[in-house]
Amino acid sequence: MKNALHRMNPSVKFLAITICMFTMAFFFDPWTPLVFWVGVLVLQFFFSEIDWKKWLLFMLPFFVTAFGYFWTTLVFAEDGSGSVVWSIWNLQITETQLNHALSLSFRVLAFSSLSLLFALTTNPVTFILSLMQQLKLSPKIAYGVMVGYQFLPVLKDEFILIGQAHRLRGASEEKNTLQRLLGVRRILIPMLAGAVRKAERAAFAMEARGFTGERRSSYFRVISIGKVDAALVILFLFVLVLSCTHIWWLG
């Protein structure tokens, strides 16, 4: 069960996470998002194989963003009602300001953790196939996105090769920021031309193989919904309900 979230149906996981995010958007107290965030981390620890060092690296910008929201809300909040809980120099922090700051910070952490949980436990190709089979996404859109995703490593290698070719010709000796930006522009123009040619060849190849964009009655790779999906959805909803009802337990 350690990799249960990785084996979960992507469409079911997407809907469960979307419902959780939508529900959390209506809670403005600081502790409901905090309890929900802790619950998501517990699910991630027991039912995924995510590398925590990698997770912390990806979460670092969101931690900085959460701290930025916390600090700016304390300093620039207009609502200064409530009792003063902290005073430093000429700045007085009221209970209302502190609650707003904590609420924004914990919501950032909860939403970002959910997004990373989905991204780090979901295969993009499997997700696209699941969208076609379970959520009836148009094959034209689905296969277009899938082909574009498969071309990303090719474009990365092409970016490196074009940059190396420019350096061999002495055309990329940038000394300041403006020159570096212009150097990137010189690389992007041939990359754009190459991407158009690749897209045209891919379109001709798909048309030659009989792809018309019509929905098929069967699929070579079937993405099914099983008992594991139902159990994990129940766990997601349990964490959501627990985080939403704790406020009444605390009075």
From residue 9, alpha-carbon distances to 43, 48, 55, 125 in Å are 16, 14, 22, 12
Cα dihedral 192, 196, 197, 203 sign: positive
| Residue 53 pLDDT level (bands cut at 50, 70, 90) | very high
Tokens of 195: 């991407």
Q: Assign 3-class secondary structure to 30-95.
A: CHHHHHHHHHHHHHHHHHCCCCHHHHHHHHHHHHHHHHHHHHHHHHHCCCCCCCEEEEECCEEEEH
pLDDT at 235: 92
Q: Residue 212: is its pLDDT beyond 70?
A: no
At 169 the pLDDT is 73
What is residue 137's DSSP assignment? -
Does residue 181 or residue 20 have the better pLDDT? 20
**Gap between the Cα atoms of 226 and 249, Å rounded:** 34
Domain boundaries, the chain: 4-123+225-249, 139-208
Q: What's the rounded Cα separation, in Å, for the pair 127 and 113?
A: 19
